Amino acid sequence: MVKADYLLKSNAVFTGKEDRPFSGAVAVKGNKIIKVMKKEDADRYEADSILDYGNKMIMPGFVDAHVHYFMGAIAYSDHICTKIANSVSEEHCVTIMKEYASEHPEEERLLGIGWFPSNWGDAPLPSKKSLDEAFPDKPVYLIAADVHTLWMNTKALEESDIKVDMKPRSGSVGIDEKGELSGLLFEPDAMAPAMLKVQEFKTAEMIKMNEAFLSHIARCGVTSISEMSADPYKTEVFAKYCSLKEMEKQGRLTVRMHIYTELAGHTDFTAAKKWQGILNSEKLRLSGVKGFVDGVTSTFTGLLLEPYSDRMDTRGIDVPNLSREEMEPCIIAANKAGLSVRLHAIADGSVRMALDMYEAAIRTNGSEGIYNTIEHIENIHPQDFHRFKELQVIPSMQPYHLTLDAFEKVGRIGEERCRWEWPHKSLLKAGAVLAFGTDYPVVDFNPYPTIYAAVTRLDDNGEPTSANPQESISLAEALRAYTAGAAKAYGREDIGMLEEGKLADIIVVDKNLFEISKREILDCQTAMTMFDGKIIFEK
């Protein structure tokens, strides 16, 4: 008789290896899965705790392939206004912020996230003028939903030391018709000085935000995430990561964290390797580096192969963020150092450029043990599908972004190219390994709406969100992308499936996802989360 710490039973066990769940049990000892079996064989096992979940579904913990952890902790807190995501105009957004300011007079800065140009119709982009009139005495930082544009008032521009003549490595500083600062910053490099202020909190406040966010992550059934902000190699950044290491030592880090530092401009990754030597546990590790090839199509910074349908004068403003000649040596050097590379590439031009650079890296270094990714892939040329399998590049995608976008690209790039927007099914058919996530705080961290979006390509009200509904995928395919596929993006073979020898990151969904309507997936919740062999959440 084998003794286990836990024996988890259910009429629906989804391991990730099969296409449907079966009636079975999972035995856990320490932090490992020691056996997955049919339910009738479970009597052979003794356990300190035997839990039968009936018709609720046991499955691997969700692995979110793309999270901005520290920004996410702020977004989950009360220190930032998320209601501006519902704004329908610049004026409406300012009104929402006024209400937030009156309810939070103690905030030194006013932060908001979620405004989106497509939600404002054909209105022009906002300017500092409306914010200055409403908030003359306090800095205001409003982050667009895609986190690629920052809208600020004069106080915030001054506090962040933004100047008219600033020349960021990529992106741009908004200048109005008078040659003055408009209040807008475009793309991460240009936004960097202001984002330091956005994330400037007292230590006690950050600890409180971290604890609250980690609890939320556990309630969602997510057991592995990332910090994808491509932070620079600075002392204060490393101190931020070390705060997580301290939490790990104290047993308070209840998620597997994968850190991706800055790629751009580096061919010497000594600093990254030094940090990796310190951050190298099962729960906290520096996994690779991240770069940006383009921006976003909503503000015409996504790099297309052909011009925008509604702006025939451009294929993308100020993009690529770095030329291929500048970025390719960085990728080759990173892979040579054993660091996987993750590249933000939204549109068909940037996706092709990313694939070309990865192909060059393989020619130089070989591909053994390295899984590079392309992040987002909101539009692709069909001639590039086969290259993902050939180059072992993982498409890391966020299905719920299609709901956020909701036909915006039809106006930007036309219906013909929209046949290949968020093409999950076509990538799978071409042999690619999909990895799913949320890009939180861009969209909600809850996994179930993302799964629903992938299998239906409908919004939460059941309305179509894409020009290519044939790109929907099966439930099993979506779940694998959100577990084993995302684990592969992190370069991990020890998580993502219910299998003997894997780490015991296991969840229970309150319904059998395979026995309910697709619409009901939206209402599902996690009933139990086990992380590293310990139950950290029970509903």
In a 13 Å sphere around the CA of 424, the CA atoms on its Cβ side amount to: 32
Q: Which regions of the chain are under pLDDT 70?
A: 1, 318
Rg (CA), the chain: 23
Cα separation, 457 vs 156, whole angstroms: 39
Q: Which helix (H) or strand (E) holds 24?
A: strand 22-29
Q: Say what the pLDDT of residue 317 is.
A: 75
Residues 422 and 378: their CA atoms lie apart, in Å, by 5
State the Cα–Cα distance between residues 531 and 224, nearest whole angstrom.
Answer: 9
Query: How many Cβ atoms are within 10 Å of 124's Cβ, its own excluded?
Result: 8
Which amino acid belongs to residue 380? I
Over the stretch 505-534, which tens digit does the pLDDT of each residue have?
999 999 999 999 999 999 999 999 999 999
DSSP 8-state symbol, 280: B
For 242-289, the pLDDT digits (tens) are: 999 999 999 999 999 999 999 999 999 999 999 999 999 999 999 999
Token code pair at residue 277: 């030597």
Nearest CA-CA partner of 332 in 413, 403, 258, 267: 267
Separation of alpha carbons 32 and 319, rounded Å: 46
Q: In what order do the strands lie in the sheet with 222-231?
A: 62-63, 222-231, 256-262, 284-292, 340-345, 373-376, 394-397, 435-436
Q: How far apart are CA 516 and CA 293, in angstroms?
A: 40
Angle at which helices 69-76 and 203-219 pack, to 10 degrees? 90
Tokens standing for 336? 């040579």
State pTM to two decimals: 0.93
Tell me the CATH architecture of domain 2-61+501-538: Roll (2.30)
**Quick one: three-class SS letters along 178-214?**
CCCEEEEEECHHHHHHHHHHHCCCCHHHHHHHHHHHH
Share of the chain above pLDDT 70, in %: 100
What SS3 string covers 426-466? HHHHCCCCCEECCCECCCCCCHHHHHHHHHHCECCCCCECC
Q: What is the CATH number of domain 80-198?
A: 3.10.310.70
Using DSSP's 3-state secondary structure scheme, residue 16 falls into: coil
Give the Cβ contact number of residue 237 at 10 Å.
17
SS3 category, 6: strand
| Model pLDDT, residue 1 | 67
Q: In this predicted structure, what is the pLDDT of residue 109?
A: 97
Bridge partners, residue 535, by sequence:
530
- Could you tell me the residue ranges of all domains in the chain? 2-61+501-538, 80-198, 203-489
**Dihedral Cα 500, 57, 219, 501, nearest 10 deg:** 0
pLDDT of residue 538: 97
C-alpha span between 224 and 437 (Å, rounded): 10
Q: Which structure tokens are listed for 28?
A: 């856990």
Which CATH class name applies to 203-489?
alpha beta
The token pair that represents 174 in the structure block: 């908004």
Give residue 152's identity as a one-letter amino acid code: M
Q: Which residues pair with 8 in a beta bridge?
A: 26, 51
Phi-psi region of 68 (alpha: psi -120 to 50; beta: other; left: phi over 0): beta
SS3 154: helix
Place of tokens 């509604």: 310
DSSP 66-110: -BBHHHHHHHHSTTSB-GGGG--SHHHHHHHHHHHHHH-TT-SSE
